[in-house]
């Protein structure tokens, strides 16, 4: 079997490992490995990409991936990386979220075949677990002073909001998950982000103490940008993997906007391109960074993996068309994706139906400080509509529905880079 631990190491996906012997074990036999996923939304988001890719690497190497959706622990919430307690969810909301998570995972994992992936809800065993039974069989193996020493718990204790007993107990529940999967599913390895190290080792210790078994853990680095910020955030919030929540075009554009220095690292961590090919892509990009070939390839590969070939080609073609000329004939989603970082404004559709002065619009969308300045820009040929190379030729020009680039939007530009996305609703 291929050396999956070495693969993770080479691609920057391995941070901690409980026992170096795991590397040799993974080459000798197929094992079961699990990662937990938070079910607090109806889609996974970009923050889950590293874990999905990690499970995929294990599956490609012949191992059995188990995705554990936290239907039980998700009703409580892990304090790791959080400054406040999350809201509890009801059964109906959790069921919808779990269905959405399964849909996202199918882009990465094969749920059929010899080493098929499994999606399991830990609510199936945690929901029937009695409190006295849990304290007797699990709680007695943990020391409070060791739990308090955990960084995420200590940080919350120092904050005025504190931490509830519910969240404080999360480590025990995750440890029990590992114990349950080891005993009932033969799962010997838990993986997760670096912030899960304490929870993972707690589960391995519980298995050793109560069952005399050998269990392992690995962690992956958190996905950060070049500035040390968590990846996956947009102006609208999380970068969801469900195309109904974040369109494939917006998803594509998110990756196109990444910094030059992050391209190679993201390709290694998040795609399955051979390392030699990634090196060649980075070298080509560094030779002419102004063409952003690295970002475009990254965006295509990410969209291909999450949304499929048809959507990846569609978004790639749309982006090339938009950046090469007129914006006319595009969709609202496409314009919104390209100009997500540009200022935007909304004007009543009724004004456009009647015709609205370009000078007035320039002032309202803050592309000109006054109507006088707006007219000056227009008279000097400094205002462009929908990425046209030809400026608007009259200060009296009226904008109408005929000027829309999509169903409800148009783009106004002054100078070379001052864009504004104008919606008429």
Burial of 326 (0-12, 13-18, 19+ CB in 10 A): middle
pLDDT over 70 percentage in the chain: 92
Q: Which CATH number, 3.40.50.300, 3.30.1180.20, 3.50.50.60, 3.10.290.10, labels domain 344-424?
A: 3.10.290.10
| pLDDT surpassing 80 at residue 341 | no
Q: What is the pLDDT of residue 224?
A: 80
Residue with the bigger pLDDT between 167 and 406: it is 406
- Half-sphere CA count of 331, side-chain side, radius 13 A: 11
CA dihedral angle for residue 43, residue 221, residue 50, residue 28, rounded to 10 degrees: -130
Ordered alpha helix ranges (H), 29-118: 49-60, 91-105
pLDDT grade, residue 181 (50/70/90)?
A: very high
pLDDT of amino acid 179: 95
User: Which residue from 178, 302, 194 is spatially nearest to 252, judged by alpha carbons?
Assistant: 302
Question: pLDDT digits over 366-375, tens only?
Answer: 889 899 999 9
Q: pLDDT at position 84, please?
A: 47
With a pLDDT cut of 90, the percent of the chain lying above it is: 52
170 compared with 407, residue with greater pLDDT: 407
Nearest to 302 by CA among 263, 261, 259, 341: 263
Question: For 395, which DSSP code?
Answer: T
CATH 3.40.50.620 domain locations along the chain: 4-220
Q: Which residues pair with 216 in a beta bridge?
A: 189
Which CATH number is 247-324's, of 1.10.240.10, 3.30.70.890, 1.10.10.10, 1.10.390.10? Answer: 1.10.240.10
Helix 275-287 to helix 293-307 angle (10° resolution) is 140
pLDDT at 325 over 70: no
pLDDT for the residue numbered 108: 96
Burial letters 184-208, b for 16+ CB under 10 A, else e: eeebbbbbbbeebbbbbbbbbbbbe
Angle formed at CA 120 by CA 242 and CA 77, multiple of 5 degrees: 75
CATH 3.10.290.10 positions along the chain are: 344-424
Where is mean pLDDT largest: 272-276, 319-323, 385-389, 403-407? 272-276
Residue 400 has pLDDT above 70, yes or no: yes
Mean per-residue pLDDT over the chain, rounded: 87
* Average pLDDT of the residues in 2-6: 95
Given this model, what pLDDT does residue 420 score?
87
pTM to 2 decimal places: 0.79
Answer CATH for 4-220 from 3.40.720.10, 3.40.50.620, 3.30.450.20, 3.10.20.340: 3.40.50.620
Look at residues 37, 110, 49 and name the one whose alpha carbon lies nearest to residue 241. Answer: 49
The pLDDT score that the predictor gives to residue 274 is 97
pLDDT at 96: 86
Per-residue pLDDT tens over the stretch 106-156: 999 999 988 999 999 988 888 888 888 888 888 888 888 878 877 767 777
Return the SS3 of 278. helix
**pLDDT of amino acid 211:** 95
- 380 CA to centre of own chain: 45
**What does the pLDDT average to over 337-343?**
73
User: Does 94 or 192 have the greater pLDDT score?
Assistant: 192
In this predicted model, what pLDDT tens digit does every residue of 204-241 receive, in sequence order? 999 999 999 999 999 999 888 767 777 776 656 789 99
For the chain, give every residue range classified as CATH 1.10.240.10: 247-324
Residue 415 has pLDDT above 90, yes or no: no
Tell me what pLDDT residue 154 has: 78
Q: What is the pLDDT of residues 38-96, one digit of tens each?
A: 887 889 999 899 999 999 999 999 999 999 988 777 666 555 555 444 455 667 877 88
């Amino acid at each position: 079997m291929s050396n999956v631990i070495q693969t993770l190491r080479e691609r920057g996906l391995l941070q901690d490992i409980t026992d170096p012997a795991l590397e040799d074990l993974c080459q000798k036999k197929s094992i079961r490995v699990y990662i937990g996923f938070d079910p607090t939304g109806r889609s996974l988001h970009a923050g889950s990409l590293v874990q999905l890719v990690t499970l995929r690497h294990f599956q490609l190497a012949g191992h059995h991936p188990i995705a554990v959706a936290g239907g039980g622990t998700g009703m409580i919430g892990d304090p790791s990386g959080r400054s406040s307690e999350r809201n509890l969810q009801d059964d109906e909301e959790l069921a919808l979220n779990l269905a959405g998570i399964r849909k996202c995972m199918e882009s990465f994992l094969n749920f059929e075949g010899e080493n098929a992936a499994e999606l399991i809800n830990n609510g199936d065993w945690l929901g029937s677990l009695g409190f006295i039974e849990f304290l007797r069989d699990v709680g007695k193996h943990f020391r409070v002073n060791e739990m308090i020493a955990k960084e995420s718990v200590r940080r919350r204790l120092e904050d005025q909001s504190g931490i509830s007993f519910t969240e404080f107990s999360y480590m025990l529940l995750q440890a029990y998950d590992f114990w349950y999967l080891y005993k009932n599913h033969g799962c010997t390895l838990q993986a997760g982000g670096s912030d899960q190290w304490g929870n993972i080792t707690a589960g391995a210790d519980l298995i050793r103490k109560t069952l005399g078994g050998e269990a392992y853990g690995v962690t992956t680095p958190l996905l950060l940008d070049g500035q040390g910020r968590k990846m996956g955030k947009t102006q609208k919030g999380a970068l969801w993997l469900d195309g109904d929540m974040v369109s494939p075009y917006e998803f594509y554009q998110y990756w196109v906007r990444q910094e030059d220095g992050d391209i190679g690292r993201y390709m290694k961590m998040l795609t399955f391109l051979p390392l030699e090919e990634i090196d060649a892509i980075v070298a080509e990009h560094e030779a002419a960074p102004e063409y952003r070939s690295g970002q475009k390839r990254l965006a295509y590969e990410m969209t291909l993996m999450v949304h499929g070939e048809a959507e990846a080609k569609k978004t790639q073609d749309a982006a090339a068309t938009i950046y090469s000329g007129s914006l006319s004939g595009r969709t609202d989603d496409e314009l919104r994706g390209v100009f997500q970082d540009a200022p935007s404004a909304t004007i009543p559709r009724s004004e456009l139906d009647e015709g609205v002065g370009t000078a007035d619009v320039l002032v309202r969308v803050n592309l000109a400080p006054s109507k006088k300045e707006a007219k000056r820009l227009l008279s000097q040929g400094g205002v462009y509509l929908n990425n046209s190379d030809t400026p608007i030729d009259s200060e009296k020009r009226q904008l109408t529905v005929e000027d829309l680039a999509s169903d409800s939007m148009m783009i106004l530009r002054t100078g070379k880079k001052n864009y504004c996305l104008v919606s008429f609703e």
